[in-house]
Amino acid sequence: MLSTSHAPQAPHVPPPAPAPGGARELANWLIPDWELQPESVEAVTVLPSFASKMRECERVCQTLYSEIPHEIQDAVVLRRLQQMVNTAMLNPLWRERLRGAGVLHAPATYEEWQRIPLSDKDVQRDFFMDTRPGMVVPLTRGEFEIVASGGTSGGAPLEVVYSLRELKDTYEIAGRFMGAYQLARHLAGSDPKWLFTTLADYQMWSSGTMVGGVLQHVPGVNYVGAGPVTAPVLEHMFSYRGPKALMGISAGIAILADLGAGMRQEYRDSFRVALYGSGVLPQRKRVELQALYPNLSILSYFAATQAETIGLQLDAASPHLSAVPGLHFIEIVDEDGRQVPEGEEGELVVTRLHAHETPLLRLKLGDRMIHRPRTDGPGLKTRQFEFAGRTGDVLHLNDSQYSGARAYAALREELKAAEVVDLDAVAHDIQFVNHREGKTITLYAAVDDVLGLTYRADSVLGPYGLQQVFVNALPRALSLFNHGEANAASIEKTGYTLQLKFVPRLSAEIERTAVGKVPLVRDRG
């Protein structure tokens, strides 16, 4: 059985002398002044890894890093962030960028840290592609890995560079956390345990490269990098004795309901965890999967090209994602780059803590998150957040902007209350298309019974009912602090109308990316 015994254990030995006092003293002791501010590029190459600092912190505190009190974790991470800023300033491009924002020295507090300018995909491209001028330690030294993305959102390719020694550390940290806190209770018993991924080769050169590295470092499991599978291949994999978990993109998980339709029941019973790695898995697909695989838990594995494990859903009953302590510094920020209060929505910003040679500070990944309370009490102590959609999932009605995810939720509630349709129950895919010139928003729903659902919607709503649903629902798509911007009358004044169009599965009318993802919102002229 997987257990926390596979996670890094702190040996029961007394701390070294002199014993550090409070949280700040411990952090300063772990990263002493002569490491905090390296004097040269060569000095950076011999800095002890941050993973070694985490292990030493465990030894002193006599507990797992992921269960160390927040006060200590916060002090250690702040010290590491200070070291990262000092390291970045050895690079002329970073030094110019930081000084341009008025940052002349490492931040003394988390409040000061928020003065560091946010980075976006353009900054990442300028710093880590072509001649890669943002690297502190040059590429000529070797021992780096290039991780690439096809640019499924923006369409332009994107690359970033990581030190191989630090990648190995992060794979082990994330893999052990995943085994102890996400998979252990599902992959129980004395039989062999299996962890598959169906990420394709072209995905394995993007975030899949890093996800595969993590999955290989989950203790006590047998890893299979299967790639895309057919029904016979899936049945062969599931015929292996023992409980199984499988990770893939949302579309790769959704299709398992079709691929497993003819599979032997005993094989289906052995499927325990499905991890989907991009966005949202439609409710219709969840129902189909759990009907076919009765012992299945469906959990989110949130990752990106720049971060192998951003957030893991630990409990199927809660949408909260948990950060892996010590892996990244994660912020949910407003437009000014300031941390939003708990319960509020903001943009996800990630700083990879294991990046001596190639620091990338405060990177926006293009996702919206809700800031949730961090876990406390006995056991795991970490930050939590909840996925709220892609930053680009915005409906623009003239000068107003509405959350696509909230708009869908509100429209779904209105249509269900009117006894027209439960979109969660029938739709395989959903997509808004905003025809700005014609001021029409079309909500496409890929369903099995196109004619029947179209007839029902027309019969129940009549010629004007859908527009009433639209103007009632859309004001609820604004954030808490913007509710005053819109009401039914103001929506009518925009001149926009809503169309609901049911289409067959895999219809060409729903736009998909090169890797099969369905963006929630698409704009057209």
**Among 231-240, 320-329, 489-498, which stretch is predicted with the lowest mean pLDDT?**
489-498
| 88's tokens | 């970045």
Say whether 306 sits in a helix, a strand or coil. coil
92-100 vs 121-128: helix crossing angle, rounded to 10: 150
Percent of the chain topping pLDDT 90 = 59
pLDDT in tens, 90-145: 999 999 999 999 999 999 999 999 999 999 988 999 999 999 999 999 999 989 98
* Interacting residues of 22 by C-beta distance below 8 A, sequence separation 6+: none
Mean pLDDT, range 249-276, rounded to an integer: 93
- Give me the mean pLDDT over the 198-207 stretch: 62
Give the model confidence (pLDDT) of 142-182 as tens digits.
Answer: 899 888 775 544 456 678 899 999 999 999 999 999 999 99
Q: Model confidence over 451-463: pLDDT tens digits?
A: 999 999 999 888 7
What's the average model confidence in pLDDT over 426-440? 87
Give the integer Cα–Cα distance in Å for 232 and 245: 18
Q: Are 252 and 228 in contact (CB under 8 A)?
A: yes
How far is Cα 307 from Cα 301, in angstroms, rounded to an integer? 12
What burial letters (b/e) apply to 300-315, b meaning 16+ CB within 10 Å?
Answer: bbbbbbbbbbbbbbbe
Q: How confident is the model at residue 256 (pLDDT cuts 50, 70, 90)?
A: very high
Residue 18 pLDDT level (bands cut at 50, 70, 90)? very low
Please provide residue 266's backbone torsions phi and psi, each rounded to the nearest 5 degrees: -65, -30
Is the model's pLDDT at 485 over the cut of 90?
no
Confidence of residue 486 (pLDDT cuts 50, 70, 90): low
Residue 52 contacts by C-beta under 8 Å, 6 or more apart in sequence?
none
Q: Interhelix angle for 50-61 vs 164-177, to 10°? A: 40
**By CB neighbour count within 10 A (0-12 exposed, 13-18 middle, 19+ buried), where does 462 fall?**
exposed
| Residue 82 to residue 28: CA distance in whole angstroms | 11
- Peptide bond preceding 18: is omega within 30 degrees of 0, i.e. cis? yes
Is the pLDDT at 43 greater than 90? The verdict is yes
Spatial contact of 428 and 282, defined as CB atoms under 8 Å apart: yes
Q: Lowest-pLDDT range, 127-136, 304-313, 332-341?
A: 304-313
Half-sphere exposure (Cβ direction) of 499: Cα atoms closer than 13 Å: 12
Q: pTM for the full model?
A: 0.80
Residue 4 has pLDDT above 50, yes or no: no
Q: Which of 178, 245, 235, 232 is nearest to 210 (CA)?
A: 178
Mean pLDDT over each residue of the chain, to the nearest integer: 87
Percent of the chain exceeding pLDDT 70 equals: 89
pLDDT at position 221 over 60? yes
Interval 253-279 mean pLDDT: 93
Mean pLDDT for the stretch of residues 285-293: 94
pLDDT at 71: 96
Q: What is the SS3 assignment for 202-259?
A: CCCCCHHHHHHHHHCCCCCCEEEECCCCCHHHHHHHHCCCCCEEEEECHHHHHCHHHH
d(CA 438, CA 50): 54
**Confidence (pLDDT) at 479:** 52
Measure CA 152 to chain center. 15
Longest dimension (CA), the chain: 80
* Helical (H) or strand (E) element with 12: none
| 136/85 Cα distance (integer angstroms) | 11
